[in-house]
Amino acid sequence: MGSVQEKNKEIVKAFYDLIINKKDYEAAKPYIGKRYKQHNPLVKDYPGGLREFIGFLKENFPEARSEIRRVIAEDDYVVLHVHSIRDKDLERAIIEIFRLEDGKIEEHWDVIQQIPETSANPNGMF
**pLDDT tens for each residue of the chain, 126 residues long:** 579 999 999 999 999 999 999 999 999 999 999 999 999 999 999 999 999 999 999 999 999 999 999 999 999 999 999 999 998 889 999 999 999 999 999 999 999 999 999 999 999 999
Looking at residue 11, its amino acid is: I
Class of domain 4-114: alpha beta
Cα dihedral across residues 20, 4, 78, 108: positive or negative: positive
* Backbone torsion region of residue 36, taken as left when φ is above 0, otherwise alpha when ψ lies between -120 and 50, otherwise beta: left
Q: What is the residue extent of each domain of the chain? A: 4-114
pTM here is 0.94
The whole-angstrom separation of Cα 99 and Cα 109 is: 9
The whole-angstrom separation of Cα 126 and Cα 115 is: 10
